[in-house]
């Protein structure tokens, strides 16, 4: 059977032979054993409903074994034999181009070079799933190979509910992930309902088929570091940045540090993760000894080297050692997976990697205590550094949130705020999001690197032209992004599909996409898939991250993200997604995104103009209503250009009047 035939068959009628567990692959850790005996029966009944009854007796013991051994039923046996990667769009079976492009995006999310735990269908963040099991994958690909432009595929947390009649302008796919009744949306609830097979954590771009490897986060981290060093008035050359994590997203930090030009130290406890990033050239050196690390860092800083160093061990040890040895850290952060603290996201100091894995599965209460103890120790060491002048920021991984819950000394005097800002409060929010600058991305569906080169050039030309007349408020953003796109080819950022990320405001995004659409219509490039990270101006309500610089109380509401996905879906998105969880954790955030296919048609032009305009201005209007000056500037500018846009603006109350109360 060739590739197309395999996709079209969906779940095979004859079961493939069982697959051996491959120890060379980075596997998800064993999940907590959370189901009662009765609930385990329910999980098995749920899993078996994908299969005809004649297979149940064969599959039952196998699935039961997976549930006992790994805490989840992944249906390893059904994992396809073909290579998993984003093929050129023409190689996918299908009745409409849009559905073929979505297949490409799904396979990219599961590519072994891209996905963190490919056999468990996890793309990044330890638990960011594309599907819960392989049956869901096979069925979804089959539906996509059959759908027409008059149907919409409905995805419930990885489960393809089916194809429903719709119309040409409707999204081809509507994705929801992890949407729970709010009172049942806590860590343990998620573990339980995920183990039952009825929900999944889609992270942001995992369960929405929009992950493009670590490039997206390299760009965001580069922008954050450049602006972070600007904030402390320090040249990046000769500056030291200390952080942790060389995983799915965090692995981008050393590369971003190199692009920014500083010395980066990144601690990582998982040797496999370190080896991967080192072999990919994303981190320059690996050091396992703390004394050696200290002298190497001192030397690199003194020589103003641009170098990234992985410390093969726990980050707590690095913070403590550098304090003792008086190594001055300019910028400090953390990117362990604290959105998922009890199931492998954070490894406590003084336990080996193996000991920690064993304890989290077999003695979760003791493990939780170790995590909290370690967070208190890490915070104490960080506090010593900040007292000596380090600028520490939370990088959206829930570090401060979990540290505060562990009783660490991270609260500000008012006992409401944290001692340290999140990167959004100080950097991304006021400098980027409030002006409408956010991470939009594109994938060249032909799979040709030449197409990506042409699109890079088009995007650069458009931005350079716009910069000539841009107001001073956004000149720095324009300049940083022009520099980024110019260096993008040289920095070899492509992992998986031919993709590029860039920050632009609504006008920039629309101008660039229109130029792409024109180039497609002229036959200069093939189809383009447009999308973005959910981590953007409008897509995400997350009080400790994307919306942490909203101060009118509405940071704990989720209207913006919901409005966004609804608005995108009727303005022409090819697919839309809305997720509970993502980035900072289950129950902590609602985030949404879209995908859009540009095929050079007039329809594509109409859709991109209508949808992108809303997709950015929705968030700016909300940020402006929250009284953020930069957003008020941006929305007034947008209204001036388009009289059809009428946004309610806030009035400011004199503080003296309020304080007299
Ligand atoms: N700010 C942003 O824009 C942004 C973007 C993406 C992800 N994130 C957040 O960052 C976190 C990391 O994401 P990821 O995809 O890299 O997750 P990941 O799980 O792939 O990587 C985290 C890594 O940290 C390592 N680690 C855990 N505890 C450690 C310790 N004490 N010392 C040293 N290493 C340790 C783990 O072994 C793992 O490899 C997540 O919480 C994610 O939500 C933030």
Contacts of 446 (CB under 8 A, 6+ apart): 88, 89, 90, 498, 525, 526, 527
Q: Hey, how many other C-beta atoms are within 10 angstroms of the C-beta on 617? A: 24
Tokens matching residue 440: 């939009």
Q: Distance, CA 262 to ligand 1 centroid (Å)?
A: 21
Distance CA 504, CA 219 (A): 12
Q: Distance, CA 313 to ligand 1 centroid (Å)?
A: 14
Q: What is the mean pLDDT of residues 40-62?
A: 98
- For residue 365, how many C-alpha atoms fall within 13 Å in the half-sphere facing its CB? 0
Q: Distance, CA 219 to ligand 1 centroid (Å)?
A: 16
Would the CB of 314 count as within 6 Å of ligand 1? yes
Distance CA 654, CA 155 (A): 49
Contacts of 579 (CB under 8 A, 6+ apart): 176, 177, 178, 179, 202, 203, 204, 207, 208, 534, 590, 591, 592
Contact 78, 11 (CB under 8 A): yes
Would the CB of 501 count as within 6 Å of ligand 1? no
For every residue of 1-29, DSSP letters joined together read --HHHHHHH-S-SSPPPP----TTS-PPP
Distance CA 101, CA 104 (A): 5
Would the CB of 220 count as within 6 Å of ligand 1? yes
Distance CA 430, CA 622 (A): 14
**Residue-wise burial string across 325-340, b where 16 or more C-beta atoms lie within 10 A, e elsewhere:** eebebbbbbbbbbbbb
Q: What is the mean pLDDT of residues 446-463?
A: 98
Would the CB of 393 count as within 6 Å of ligand 1? no
Cα–Cα separations (whole angstroms), residue 80 to 2, 75, 267 = 12, 11, 35
Task: For residue 396, give the ligand 1 atom closest to its CA.
Answer: 1
Would the CB of 124 count as within 6 Å of ligand 1? yes
Would the CB of 273 count as within 6 Å of ligand 1? yes
pLDDT exceeds 90 at position 491 = no
pLDDT the model gives residue 186: 85
Task: For residue 116, give the ligand 1 atom closest to its CA.
Answer: 20
pLDDT, averaged across the chain? 95
Ligand 1: residue whose CA is nearest its atom 17: 125
Task: For residue 349, give the ligand 1 atom closest to its CA.
Answer: 31
Distance CA 172, CA 596 (A): 10
pLDDT exceeds 90 at position 248 = no
Q: What is the mean pLDDT of residues 442-471?
A: 97
CA angle 318, 495, 172 (to 5 degrees): 120
Task: For residue 315, give the ligand 1 atom closest to its CA.
Answer: 32
Ligand 1: residue whose CA is nearest its atom 44: 396
Of all residues in the chain, what percent carry a pLDDT higher than 90? 87
Q: Distance, CA 323 to ligand 1 centroid (Å)?
A: 23
Which pLDDT tens digit goes with each residue over 571-618? 999 999 999 988 788 899 999 999 999 999 999 999 999 999 999 999
Would the CB of 534 count as within 6 Å of ligand 1? no
Task: For residue 423, give the ligand 1 atom closest to its CA.
Answer: 1
Q: Distance, CA 124 to ligand 1 centroid (Å)?
A: 9
Residue among 213, 251, 337 to mutate when testing ligand 1 (max atoms within 8 A of CB): 337
Tokens matching residue 175: 């994705």
pLDDT the model gives residue 396: 85
Would the CB of 343 count as within 6 Å of ligand 1? no
pLDDT exceeds 90 at position 661 = no
Given pLDDT bands bounded at 50, 70 and 90, which one contains residue 125?
confident
Q: Distance, CA 247 to ligand 1 centroid (Å)?
A: 6
Q: Hey, how many other C-beta atoms are within 10 angstroms of the C-beta on 354? A: 8
Q: Distance, CA 144 to ligand 1 centroid (Å)?
A: 32
Ligand 1: residue whose CA is nearest its atom 20: 247
Better-predicted residue by pLDDT, 186 or 71: 71
Residue among 117, 125, 373 to mutate when testing ligand 1 (max atoms within 8 A of CB): 125
Better-predicted residue by pLDDT, 344 or 576: 576
pLDDT the model gives residue 187: 79
Q: Distance, CA 338 to ligand 1 centroid (Å)?
A: 7
pLDDT the model gives residue 492: 84
Nearest Cα residue to 527 out of 101, 215, 208, 149: 101
Q: Distance, CA 636 to ligand 1 centroid (Å)?
A: 38
Q: Distance, CA 394 to ligand 1 centroid (Å)?
A: 12
Would the CB of 217 count as within 6 Å of ligand 1? yes
Q: What is the mean pLDDT of residues 452-462?
A: 97
Q: What is the mean pLDDT of residues 112-125?
A: 93
Q: Distance, CA 3 to ligand 1 centroid (Å)?
A: 35
Nearest Cα residue to 586 out of 244, 46, 177: 177
* Through-space distance between the first and last CA atoms of the chain, rounded to whole angstroms: 77
Given pLDDT bands bounded at 50, 70 and 90, which one contains residue 535?
confident
pLDDT the model gives residue 217: 85
Ligand 1: residue whose CA is nearest its atom 27: 346
pLDDT the model gives residue 483: 87
pLDDT the model gives residue 453: 97
Distance CA 46, CA 41 (A): 9
Strand partners, 391: 331
Distance CA 4, CA 141 (A): 10
Would the CB of 546 count as within 6 Å of ligand 1? no
Ligand 1: residue whose CA is nearest its atom 4: 396
Would the CB of 336 count as within 6 Å of ligand 1? yes
pLDDT exceeds 90 at position 128 = yes
Better-predicted residue by pLDDT, 491 or 548: 548
pLDDT the model gives residue 455: 98
Q: Distance, CA 591 to ligand 1 centroid (Å)?
A: 19
Ligand 1: residue whose CA is nearest its atom 23: 245
pLDDT exceeds 90 at position 417 = no
Which pLDDT tens digit goes with each residue over 190-226? 999 999 999 999 999 999 999 998 788 899 999 999 9
Would the CB of 247 count as within 6 Å of ligand 1? yes
Better-predicted residue by pLDDT, 339 or 521: 521
Ligand 1: residue whose CA is nearest its atom 6: 249
């Amino acid at each position: 059977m060739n590739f197309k035939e395999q996709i079209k068959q969906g779940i095979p009628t004859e079961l493939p032979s069982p697959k051996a567990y491959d120890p060379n692959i980075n596997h998800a850790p064993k999940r907590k054993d959370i189901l009662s005996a009765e609930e385990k029966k329910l999980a098995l009944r749920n899993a078996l409903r994908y299969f005809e009854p004649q297979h149940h007796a064969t599959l039952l013991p196998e699935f039961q074994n997976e549930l006992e051994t790994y805490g989840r039923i992944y249906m390893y046996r059904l994992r396809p034999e073909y290579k998993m990667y984003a093929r050129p769009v023409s190689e996918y079976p299908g009745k409409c181009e849009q559905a073929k492009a979505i297949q490409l995006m799904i396979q990219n999310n599961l590519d072994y070079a891209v996905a963190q735990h490919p056999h468990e269908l996890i793309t990044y963040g330890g638990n960011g799933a594309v599907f819960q099991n392989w049956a869901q994958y096979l069925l979804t690909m089959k539906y996509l190979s059959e759908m027409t432009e008059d149907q919409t595929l409905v995805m419930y947390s990885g489960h393809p509910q089916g194809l429903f009649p719709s119309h040409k302008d409707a999204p081809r796919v509507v994705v929801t992930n992890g949407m729970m009744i709010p009172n049942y949306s806590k860590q343990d609830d998620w573990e339980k309902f995920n183990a039952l097979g009825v929900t999944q954590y889609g992270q942001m771009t995992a369960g929405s088929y929009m992950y493009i490897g670590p490039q997206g986060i390299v760009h965001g981290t580069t922008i954050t570091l450049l602006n972070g060093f600007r904030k402390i008035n320090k040249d990046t050359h000769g500056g030291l940045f200390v952080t942790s994590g060389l995983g799915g997203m965090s692995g981008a930090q050393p590369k971003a540090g190199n692009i920014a030009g500083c010395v980066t130290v990144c601690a990582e406890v998982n040797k496999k993760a370190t080896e991967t990033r080192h072999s990919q050239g994303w981190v320059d050196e690996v050091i396992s000894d703390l004394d050696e690390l200290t002298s190497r860092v001192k030397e690199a800083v003194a020589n103003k080297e641009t170098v990234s160093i992985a410390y093969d061990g726990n980050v707590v040890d690095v913070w403590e050692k550098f304090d003792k040895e008086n190594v001055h850290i300019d910028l400090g952060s953390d990117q362990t997976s604290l959105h998922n603290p009890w199931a492998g996201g954070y490894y406590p100091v003084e336990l080996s990697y193996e000991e920690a894995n064993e304890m989290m599965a077999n003695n979760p209460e003791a493990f939780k205590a170790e995590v909290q103890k370690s967070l208190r120790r890490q915070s104490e060491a960080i506090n010593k550094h900040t007292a000596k002048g380090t600028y520490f920021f939370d990088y959206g991984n829930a570090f401060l949130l979990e540290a505060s819950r562990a009783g660490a000394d991270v609260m500000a005097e008012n006992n409401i705020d944290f001692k340290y800002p999140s990167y959004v409060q100080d950097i991304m929010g006021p400098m980027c999001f409030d002006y409408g600058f956010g991470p939009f991305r594109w994938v060249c569906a032909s799979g040709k690197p030449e197409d990506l080169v042409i699109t890079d050039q088009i995007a650069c030309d458009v931005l350079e032209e716009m910069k000539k007349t841009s107001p001073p408020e956004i000149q720095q953003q324009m300049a940083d992004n022009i520099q980024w796109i110019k260096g993008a080819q040289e920095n070899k950022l492509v992992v998986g599909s031919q993709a590029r990320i860039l920050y632009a405001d609504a006008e920039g995004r629309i101008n660039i996409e229109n130029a792409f659409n024109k180039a497609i219509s002229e036959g200069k490039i093939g189809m383009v898939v447009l999308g973005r990270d959910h981590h953007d101006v409008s897509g995400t309500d997350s009080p400790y991250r994307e919306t942490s610089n909203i101060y009118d109380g509405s940071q704990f509401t989720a209207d913006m993200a919901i409005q966004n996905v609804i608005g995108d879906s009727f303005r022409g998105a090819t697919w839309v997604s809305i997720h509970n969880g993502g980035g900072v954790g289950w129950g902590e955030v609602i985030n949404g995104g879209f995908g859009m296919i540009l095929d050079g048609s007039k329809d594509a032009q109409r859709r991109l103009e209508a949808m992108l305009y809303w997709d950015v201005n929705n968030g700016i209007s909300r940020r402006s209503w929250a009284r953020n000056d930069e957003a008020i500037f941006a929305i007034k500018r947008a209204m001036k250009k388009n009289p059809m846009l009428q946004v309610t603006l806030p009035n400011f109350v004199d503080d003296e009047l309020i304080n007299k109360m």
